[in-house]
Amino acid sequence: MKILKQNYWKMIQMRQIKHILIFILALATNVAKADMADFWHVYYNGVKIKEFSEVQNNREITLKIKDIKKTDSLTIMYYNDFHLYGRSFSLSLLQN
């Protein structure tokens, strides 16, 4: 009878540990972020001039107006791991 009680308590402890581990795993899954952050590459006349990511604070590029021609092009390639439904994006051009 004593061995039966010990096995019963071990089984109860294992269940409790299992439930705690499942809870920790669920919590970690909700808190963890994906390894891949949004990022984008900026091309000026087909040449990559800058790479940005969402974790960077400085996301600014300065071009001199006198160096820009009518035939120049600015291309922004945006990449992420997720579908883009409901996401909004903006591009601001400022002249000093």
Which is more confident, 33 or 79?
79
Which residues is 50 bridged to in the sheet?
Answer: 42
CB 71 within 8 A of CB 36: no
What average pLDDT does this structure show over 24-32?
61
What confidence score (pLDDT) does residue 89 get? 67
- pLDDT at residue 79, as a whole number: 80
H/E element, 10: helix 2-31
Asked if pLDDT for residue 1 goes beyond 70, the answer is: no
Place of tokens 């409901």: 86
> Cα separation of 93 and 71, whole Å?
17
Boundaries of every domain in the chain: 1-32, 39-79
Write the pLDDT tens digit of every residue in 37-74: 778 889 999 999 999 887 777 778 888 888 888 888 88
- Which residues have CB under 8 Å from 91's CB, separation 6+? 76
The CA-based dihedral angle spanning residues 18, 19, 22, 27, taken in that order and rounded to the nearest 10 degrees: -140
pLDDT at residue 87 tops 60: yes
CA distance 78 to 37: 11
- Mean pLDDT over 77-83 rounds to 75
